[in-house]
Chain A
Amino acid sequence: MKLRSVAIAAAAMLALAACSSGTDDTAASGPLQVKYYSVQQPTEGWPLVFGKLTDDYAKTKPGTTLKVEVAPQADLDQKLQLLASQNNLPTIFNAPNSNELLQQMYNSGQILDLEATLKELGVFDKLNPAAVELVKKTQGGKLLGLPLELNIEGVWYNKKLFADNGITAPTTWEELSAAAAALQAKGVQPFAASGQQGWPLTRLLGNYLFRTVGPNALQDVKDGKAKLTDPQYVAAAQAVADLGTKGYFGKGVGTLDYATAQDLFLQGKAAMFYMGSWAVRDFGNQQTNKIGADNIGFLPFPTVAGGTGTADQTPMNAGLTTVVSKKGYNAEVGAWLKYIVEHYGDRALSEIGLVSGFTANPPADASALTKGVVTQIGATKQPLLWFEALFPTKATDTATKNVTRLVTGDMSPADYMNTLQKAIDQG
């Protein structure tokens, strides 16, 4: 009766499966284990700093540990959605890419309003007020995520390539275009950009709008006061498309991934690179940076003739923020969180040279680039959001996916903006 035993084994397998406990989230007793669901590896960025701080914290509260689980950014929303559907979000986690999802989590009472929580813990003043404002603007007026980074964005350029080709740092779009043309004439690729990511290209479009229409350009679109199909908006798309069709982004921009685009710049093959200041960490890596950190300069996004935007309005963001689960929160987690918030700003700077939305004193040995970022943040009169910041998720996806078609000439500026406006109207 072999078969019967097989059937029994099968039944046993199912029964076993049903009984075996896979999750250990319900274990309430014992030392605190904070589960951090992050898009960054435990060896880098926020999880690294959190890990170091938790180790320190464990000196007073023995046994406290941080458990980092990594999710690729492309799959983050899916995983968070599934976990939220079971009301089982990890203690802390990176905010989903989709703001709608974040709002749903808040509305269904799954995550904390951190302004209230941090005030309760008495550490709200540890946050940089500008960073708080910035986060609130993108998170429906509430502080749902911690600004673990505070970045400015702009054009990083290779000083040597500029000097060799007799180019001075451009301050207007016209000068920038002229510089690009001059570089290309000398056989130097003017820009490196990752079309695979898409957003490095749409940022140009957004910033161009902020410079021409003004800082409220995209708020107006959200409020329905303006359409992306309005002439001024299409003109911005045209300006970015022109850079592409003139070949300033080099060949195969659509397939360049983030690292390769950055490599092109850091290997001296491209003269300019639009990026956020988080990249300064990579600029400091002598293994990958072949042109030297001292050789990299920063240009605020250029102004456009006739536009109302000014150069002291700087694109800023707080990176992907980190939110706290309501279910996982208790006094113990609160005490840990208080410690983290008190020390994060300084530790992030000293450990990995990361400028955050927390108050901090830059260490004396900070790199020139890091110091420059701090100065630039201080000099910013008005922070600007990015192109898709106020878009619904579907429109964000449409914007970043199709922008390579815009710069390769596969899609006309009018079509691009039209498709985008449609996606916004649907969302």
Chain B
Amino acid sequence: MTGRRHRGGGPYPDRLITYEEEPVRSMLGDKRAIAVFIGPALIVYTLVMIVPLIWSAGYTFFDGSVIGGFNFTGLDNYKQLLGDDAFWASTWFTVKYGIAVTVGQVGFGLLLALLYTFYLKRASALVRTLVFFPVVLPTVAVAAMFTKLFAVAPQPGLINSIASVLGMSGDRDWFGDSGSAFIVLVVMDVWRSMGFYAVLLYAGLVDIPDDIIEGARLDGARGWRLVRHIILPMLTPILLSSVIFSINGTLKVFDSIMALTGGGPGDTTSPLTLYMYKTAFSFGDYGYGSTIAMQLTLLSLLVTLVIFRFSRKDQTR
């Protein structure tokens, strides 16, 4: 019995697949075929990701630069990390930003998906396309637009103009303090990507058989209750994927912050990636830069594991 069962791998370890027939098992266990299927991907991936990753991990024990040469310093970089205010500030910013944007992207994505499914129904194709559109735009264009929208000088941007029409202060310098600059950043990245997550979640929603939803409605489930007790549980796997992609993307944010605030004012909107990039390439301290990047990788790993653990618990309940 146990020989006929095996646990599925990686992202979906809960699933048990059983193969009843012996020839099927041997067919699926064909070593040569497995090598052909996975070989190319594994080779490219190992050479271009794993080897450089380990290589860079090695740099975390060294001090020096790519030109002057490196000296082995043991754990000095890690010790320096503990007392580095800028590192902790960047870490805090990264986490804060990751959570805010992920909640925004997936949350609005879900709302949009519900809108497409239950309100727009068949008419939703055009709206879906339009909401997806920002994904196509280069970062530099999006950032330029948000800079202008939230500008106060040389011309008040749209947001400040609307604010003054509504009787509020129309000369707010949105990029002048860390709090409001953070808000603009989050709004921008949510706006950019919510369409993508909406489409992803919409796919999951459409996939829920109509009779289940109709049945639940007949049982008196409406509105929020329908969403909470029927739709969300059925969407859990795809929501989980969405959250994992979103958080891993946002923890590694670089382009949009570079283009919109450059990490400013001061270093108050500087994520770990930017701090790492500057340390390694502007300040010429590659070892310490790698150490920072390593923490970001570990942070992503930790967050992903927490999400997995959390979702597992949720499902067994």
Contact = CB atoms under 8 A, between A and B. Distances in A.
Q: Would A and B touch once assembled, by the CB under 8 A criterion?
A: yes
A416 to B, nearest CB: 9
Interface in B50-104: 65-68
A252 B151 contact: yes
Contact of A263 (B33, B44, B154, B177): B154
Contact of A7 (B36, B153, B177): B36
Identify the interface centre among B39, B43, B281: most chain A CB within 10 Å of its CB.
B281
Contact of B66 (A11, A85, A250): A85
A10 interface: yes
A131 interface: no
A393 B66 contact: no
A219 interface: no
A105 B263 CA distance: 29
B310 interface: no
A49 B208 CA distance: 67
A410 B269 CA distance: 14
Interface string A107-118: 110100000000
A104 B266 contact: no
B176 A104 contact: no
A110 B67 contact: yes
Identify the interface centre among B37, B43, B173, B283: most chain A CB within 10 Å of its CB.
B283
Contacts of A4: 36
B40 interface: yes
Contacts of B147: 255
Nearest to A396: B282
Interface in B250-290: 262-267, 277-278, 281-284
Interface stretch (A57-65, A233-241, A338-346, A401-409): A401-409
Interface in A369-416: 393-394, 397-398, 401-402, 404-405, 408, 410-411
A260 B282 CA distance: 26
A81 B67 contact: yes
B175 interface: yes
Nearest to B279: A394
B283 A408 contact: no
Given A3-B36, A98-B283, A251 B66 contact: no
A401 B36 CA distance: 52
Given A81-B67, A251-B173, A104 B36 contact: no
A82 B65 CA distance: 10
Contacts of B153: 250-253, 255-256, 260, 264
Contacts of B68: 104, 107-108
A252 B267 contact: no
A3 B265 contact: no
Contact of B67 (A97, A101, A264, A411): A101
Does more than half of chain B's interface fall in helix, strand or loop, or is it mixed?
loop
Given A105-B67, A405-B265, A393 B284 contact: yes
A408 B153 CA distance: 14
A101 B44 CA distance: 33
Interface string A341-364: 000000000000000000000000
B169 to A, nearest CB: 11
A401 B283 CA distance: 14
B36 A405 contact: no
B284 A6 contact: no
A251 B153 CA distance: 6
B265 A404 contact: yes
A4 B33 CA distance: 9
Identify the interface centre among B44, B153, B263, B278: most chain A CB within 10 Å of its CB.
B153
A3 B151 CA distance: 55
Contacts of A77: 281-282, 284
Given A14-B44, A108-B67, A410-B265, A393 B283 contact: yes
Contacts of A160: none
B284 A252 contact: no
Contacts of B171: 251
A90 to B, nearest CB: 15
Identify the interface centre among B66, B265, B278: most chain A CB within 10 Å of its CB.
B265
Interface in B136-166: 147, 151-154
Interface in A65-80: 77-78
Interface in B209-268: 262-267
B313 to A, nearest CB: 40
Given A78-B281, A254-B173, A408-B173, A401 B263 contact: yes
A84 interface: yes
B14 to A, nearest CB: 29
Contacts of A10: 40, 43-44
B171 to A, nearest CB: 5
Contacts of A78: 277, 281-282
A251 B152 contact: yes
A269 interface: yes
B154 A256 contact: yes
Nearest to B282: A77
A100 interface: yes
Contacts of B66: 81-82, 84-85
A413 to B, nearest CB: 14
A411 B281 contact: no
Nearest to B261: A255
Contacts of A264: 153-154
Contacts of B33: 3
Interface string B281-305: 1111000000000000000000000
Task: State the 6 A-B residue pairs at the shortest beta-carbon distance, nearest first.
Answer: A85-B66, A78-B281, A252-B152, A10-B40, A252-B153, A402-B266
24 contacts: A3-B36, A6-B40, A7-B40, A10-B43, A81-B284, A84-B67, A97-B282, A101-B67, A104-B68, A104-B284, A251-B173, A254-B173, A255-B151, A393-B284, A398-B267, A401-B264, A401-B267, A404-B176, A404-B265, A404-B266, A408-B177, A408-B265, A410-B266, A411-B266
Interface of A: 3-4, 6-7, 10-11, 14, 77-78, 81-82, 84-85, 97-98, 100-101, 104-105, 107-108, 110, 196, 250-256, 260, 263-264, 269, 393-394, 397-398, 401-402, 404-405, 408, 410-411
Given A77-B282, A252-B175, 12 more contacts: A11-B40, A252-B152, A252-B173, A255-B151, A255-B173, A256-B153, A260-B154, A263-B154, A401-B265, A402-B266, A404-B265, A408-B177
Interface of B: 33, 36-37, 39-40, 43-44, 65-68, 147, 151-154, 171, 173, 175-177, 262-267, 277-278, 281-284
